[in-house]
Structure 1
């Protein structure tokens, strides 16, 4: 997954992808102490609405985190221990591979019910996964179409056709046939796209607004860009769910405030702020003050993300390699990081793979000084003929990112490049920039691994074949479509020796950055704040969010 913006990602101290559980770092501490109380309303303050809540379209960390309250996946992450552990969620366990990890079988738990009391079946899971292939259900991760046999030509279930590589021999068994070995397939199935959807309640592209629940909470109301209200699902039972609890009566998600206003409201801890939490990071302008305030320590979350904050360079618009290299040298990462809150936000990056993720290789092809090297950048521009260029830069319409955009504009202005800043509504940002009809010269991005391996970073961000294949949900915002890189992605995907595969991914990272296709900025840490009466929060190492699966409101 993805970014903080795109689903999901995962942290890790060390990565060991196996056919069972995965070990990765992250705190499991909670806010407050003692047994959770029942009842009350948790308020979630988000500055923007979710891109999607339709499980097959979710590909943001905040969307995935919220979906855990009403959507169950085949597998999931138990984060009550010192390290996240992969377990069965709808399934009884983490799945069984066969035929060289090209066939995966899952057995569903008995007794899991939809919000109307009907049983959740393997056929519901099959239908849910098949939805991802419909052109109308766009925005989610690409793994199903990449890996399932027949996925490259299947167009979804809405015309009455099924995908033969997903078999349901009985009501509680589902079998996936893959076109290649995927040793960590059972980590993919922890993502929302591998959840069940009841055909009778599917409304296609509008399913976003009234997702049918098999989790502890269900939709009561949803006014887009204003408010989402979740209430208890009375047909959910604790005995069938190894991951979640159902402590609060209601979860009230409010959208639309400026992030800094949210920061100050929760910091004040007055009234409903005491029972409130945020999902988006603390504004850069507030981060140092809040992070250094000892009185806020017990309700301040700093979650390392196995992810990268970067700027994509559209290689089809900025065609001259010398110009792209000049941009790499010219960017002042100190001012860019300052916009996000300085050192508290994360360390300077020089690679697309972050430390702690399988495949990470330490190297730096461009300036060793994070402030950049304007002299070198000007020399490269001279080699390119000193073109007077104007470039568009896409960012979210937040104060933090607009300050970042100003930093980029200043940096590139020093080498003769004029930058026109295009702020895009945060709620629609990724659906806008991921559509190939809305191309920009430069695009702000961040990305978090969907699980702790380079296979969920480099192929997703730099496989150029997805540009034509996924025109409405293209993640390759560098528009890099290099046959050699594409071929190497395919070669690594077939490797069953993970040590060799990781080494190859590290080399691929360097090969990609030699194309000056993206400017790595920071290895991210995400920071959020909760009110003093919010308990049971787990810093979620998998999606780099404060997890609400055990949340309660203190009486």
Structure 2
């Protein structure tokens, strides 16, 4: 999933492994076991609006984390304990598999209400999942199309057709028929795409600003790129919800301020900053000093992310593998990491699967020195005919990303490659680079496992067969379309044993790196802060976000 991009693929056991390997730092004082205070307004300061809040379209951690306040999914993660626990959300439990994990049955809770007081039904869930197949609703996770029988040919419900592999024998039962065994399918259903949408309130491509709530909060007003206001959904009942609370009266999301300015405002802890929190990571210029500042320790959150920060090399435009290998060796990861904030941002990466994700295997095919190996890079360029190349590189238009872009530009200039940076607005970045009409030679990306299994990383980022299927929501930023890799993904995805499947993906990771289609940069950690009157923040190790589902404002 994008953090900013992100995918999810992790089993509960893998989550536990992830936490054991990369425990969350920072203070836990805001997760006090004392009774939360009711009332007040929590202000959320974000540098950018969300790409989407439409549950079938959002595929960023900020968007999905915010959706948890007003969108409920079939299953979900209870993160109040020492490790995340998969539980039923709309469903009474985590589902029942049959026929070799190819059929999954969920029974819905009674008493879950929409914001108008009507019941949430299995038919609403079916319709919600079906709408993700429409060409008007793009950008979300690809799992439904990959796994549901008939999903490859289905075009969504707007033409009046239904998907027969989703059955609703009664108002509270929904059954999914898959074309292959998926042992962790019930972890997929914790993503926002597996949520209910009432057909009568679906506004199609404009649903972002009109999402109908079955959670504790509902949209009062939404002005894109400026402000989102959530208020209480009076029909929500705590007795039906094992994950969320309804403590504050209102959430006020404000967009568009520079990230460093947000950091400093909340750090000052004056006025509205006392009851404010941020969702985007600290600016690279602030990270090191904030991480080591004892005066803000009680309100500083450092979430280890099951994910990777990377540079994608377009294999369609940079066709010579020797040039791509030269780029692998030339990148100085020390200056790159410095742009994102230094050591506090994360460890240097050499693989696309990160530690804590099931299937991770430690290896390094290129320079063991994080500063790179320019001599080796120049030798590879010489073998390629010593071309003098000019490449475009997509980045977000933030100071952190601009410093990152300059670091890459300097690294590649040393081997005769000129880099032209293409900065884009944060809110539109992934919508732009994921559209196959907009291909860049180099593209910055980051990816967080949708749940910590390799099956939510490599198949989404490197299955070339998906490029044509998702022309407006392509996650394969390197445009890698290696028939051998594609065949291995298909073969591995059908393995019923999760441990066996993860091990096979670990080997595939090494094969993908031999294609030199991406430069892994850092295994990420995300840091954020809140004001002194913000309580109940849960470190969300699935989203790598400060979770707001139990938050309250201290009086």
Pairing of 1:400-415 with structure 2 (within 5 A): 400-415=400-415
* 8 Å contact kept, 1:78–1:242: yes
* Count of equivalent residues: 551
- Report the RMSD for the aligned CA atoms in angstroms: 1.6
* 8 Å contact kept, 1:12–1:306: no
C-alpha spacing 1:24/1:365, structure 2 compared with 1 (3 Å): closer
Structure 1: stretches of 5+ with no match in the other structure:
none
1:422 equivalent in alignment to 2:393 = no
Which residue in the other structure is 1:167 paired with? 167
Quote how far apart the aligned CAs of 1:4 are: 1.0
Partner secondary structure for residue 15 of structure 1: helix
* 8 Å contact kept, 2:10–2:358: no
Which residue in the other structure is 2:386 paired with? 386
Which residue in the other structure is 1:480 paired with? 480
* 8 Å contact kept, 1:187–1:451: yes
In the aligned structure 1, how far is the partner of 2:533 from the partner of 2:380? 56
Which residue in the other structure is 2:223 paired with? 223
Structure 2: stretches of 5+ with no match in the other structure:
none
* 8 Å contact kept, 1:7–1:64: no
C-alpha spacing 1:112/1:544, structure 2 compared with 1 (3 Å): same
Which residue in the other structure is 1:6 paired with? 5
* 8 Å contact kept, 1:67–1:192: yes
Quote how far apart the aligned CAs of 1:552 are: 0.2
Partner secondary structure for residue 77 of structure 1: strand
Which residue in the other structure is 1:326 paired with? 326
Which residue in the other structure is 1:242 paired with? 242
In the aligned structure 2, how far is the partner of 1:420 from the partner of 1:316? 18
Quote how far apart the aligned CAs of 1:5 are: 1.1
Partner secondary structure for residue 387 of structure 1: coil
Quote how far apart the aligned CAs of 1:14 are: 5.8
Partner secondary structure for residue 468 of structure 1: helix
1:210 equivalent in alignment to 2:210 = yes
* 8 Å contact kept, 2:5–2:61: yes
Quote how far apart the aligned CAs of 1:497 are: 2.2
Deviations 1:118-144 (Å, cap 9, x if unpaired)? Answer: 000000000000000000000001000
* 8 Å contact kept, 1:346–1:524: yes
In the aligned structure 2, how far is the partner of 1:503 from the partner of 1:122? 36
Which residue in the other structure is 1:302 paired with? 302
1:156 equivalent in alignment to 2:156 = yes
In the aligned structure 1, how far is the partner of 2:552 from the partner of 2:306? 28
C-alpha spacing 1:190/1:273, structure 2 compared with 1 (3 Å): same
Quote how far apart the aligned CAs of 1:242 are: 0.4
Pairing of 1:462-481 with structure 2 (within 5 A): 462-481=462-481
Between 108-117 and 3-12, the greater mean CA deviation after superposition: 3-12
Deviations 1:414-447 (Å, cap 9, x if unpaired)? Answer: 0000000000100010000000000100000000
* 8 Å contact kept, 2:409–2:419: yes
In the aligned structure 2, how far is the partner of 1:503 from the partner of 1:149? 27
Quote how far apart the aligned CAs of 1:11 are: 7.9
C-alpha spacing 1:32/1:484, structure 2 compared with 1 (3 Å): closer
C-alpha spacing 1:26/1:214, structure 2 compared with 1 (3 Å): farther
Which residue in the other structure is 1:312 paired with? 312
C-alpha spacing 1:294/1:17, structure 2 compared with 1 (3 Å): closer
Which residue in the other structure is 1:31 paired with? 30
C-alpha spacing 1:14/1:95, structure 2 compared with 1 (3 Å): closer
Partner secondary structure for residue 254 of structure 2: strand
Between 4-13 and 308-317, the greater mean CA deviation after superposition: 4-13
In the aligned structure 1, how far is the partner of 2:31 from the partner of 2:306? 27
C-alpha spacing 1:48/1:514, structure 2 compared with 1 (3 Å): same
Quote how far apart the aligned CAs of 1:29 are: 3.8
Deviations 1:300-357 (Å, cap 9, x if unpaired)? Answer: 0000001000000000000000000000000000000000000000000000000111
* 8 Å contact kept, 2:183–2:498: no
Pairing of 1:374-523 with structure 2 (within 5 A): 374-523=374-523
* 8 Å contact kept, 1:3–1:9: no
C-alpha spacing 1:339/1:17, structure 2 compared with 1 (3 Å): closer
In the aligned structure 1, how far is the partner of 2:58 from the partner of 2:16? 24
C-alpha spacing 1:15/1:252, structure 2 compared with 1 (3 Å): same
Quote how far apart the aligned CAs of 1:521 are: 0.1
Partner secondary structure for residue 363 of structure 1: coil
Quote how far apart the aligned CAs of 1:10 are: 7.2
C-alpha spacing 1:345/1:17, structure 2 compared with 1 (3 Å): closer
Divergent runs of 4+, >4 A? 8-14, 22-28
Which residue in the other structure is 1:96 paired with? 96
Which residue in the other structure is 2:132 paired with? 132
Q: TM-score, normalised by structure 1?
A: 0.97
* 8 Å contact kept, 1:26–1:540: no
